[in-house]
Structure 1
């Protein structure tokens, strides 16, 4: 199985578990991560219990399955993510979204961790099916060690992503906790190209920036806008919440049209929009002319970041 197939499997698992951004934020709580580590032994015990309680073991398995679903949801978002487990969860989100940009020294290790965990899980499955205690324990330990090694690599990935950002981009960002209050955390704004950005997250950031008022409401049309764009650059908080997007069309040689620039209202006036514009231009090529049509309320913003007005631009309006 190659890396793209493995990542597609990861995406499918994420969707099957209903891992919304709010769920990821809760899952970043170290209590969620460490109690999840205990799930494998609990599931083993639940399945093995058929030896002692017969069909009542199905109830035990069902309870563990329910806990698997609830685990990323029951703990509040952490007040700090400066710990091994939280950084591992953040790194996993980076891995899911940026598989094509990962350095080779990460890809080989991640492939090894997944292989160890998968082979261990297969041996475990054979063991619990045949009630072979040696195979069960060996497979369980191997799979858990593979998973912990995977998390450790995710920590490394997250720290590299954090270190790659200039200190000027590390801003105190509002963080929503279960008491609906905001506290300031020393967090990093992570910028990346995301050609596979989901339409749900696209809609979320459009709505939170009010740009949705000037964009189509048709979901299928928004999906087409994403898939046919040449360049999508996003800004995310340390917990992976999308707070900004730049969507552009470019020939990567002469001109780049920045069609959509949106920043969550709670995070505006912090330089995020300027960073998105700069990074879009860098990715498209600085030899291209970057073109942008301003919203009426933002016309005074762009001269302050070095953009120049054009007095001979003409448009043919769409009929929809």
Structure 2
């Protein structure tokens, strides 16, 4: 659901879960177009004018950063906060080195969401917030591994974490530089309404995926075909189809449909067969010519 302007008297907890891989190309644009406006929404005004807030601020912020498998043997998640100043959130995000990931096409999103859920539970011991928002900023789908590092939710899958968010009333929103079916499925499993997202466009760039639950940003003109993105990704519910939100460990369409080594071997074999056929044809022609010469000599 999308709500109207936030009542500043409502206590709100906001945790940003950020994928720390090679996102340097996108993070500046995501921060300018979506992260800063999100902070201004919850701050009820420009954040530059409210850099220093009291500890009694109605909004409390936190940050969880997660990485890909190349971070091993170090932990894949780190937490920052809590903060009452949205300007502090921006400064922390700007200091995060969006590098890494190597050749990994997935990341430890499940660990990041599990860490965020523990973060929310810790905040709940301090105060009972009326609203709790998790803002997922990512570029890669999640691994299909169960949660391992977060002991509280060890063994849970990404789908189960999304269901827990819905059960606990935590509103999950997603900001991504690209559209992937796995993120659509995650958003819906966490209680998001794709039908509303289909009818409202918050993305400045048509390649971006902006799925908001519980708050709104500046709406932008809809594309001519709102049900389908420029890349052909349907915005219909992925839960109605068999969408794999896991990693290459799970069944999924591989990037390469053939093995390049086998393809080269097959090509060499075909060339050898062609050479053998040419040699046989040449030998047959020589035999025919020899027979014709023998007949001519005999006559």
TM-score in terms of structure 1 length: 0.24
Q: Which structure's relative contact order is higher, taking Cα pairs within 8 Å and 6+ residues apart?
A: 2
Q: Hey, which of these two has a bigger chunk of helix by percent?
A: 1
TM-score in terms of structure 2 length: 0.25
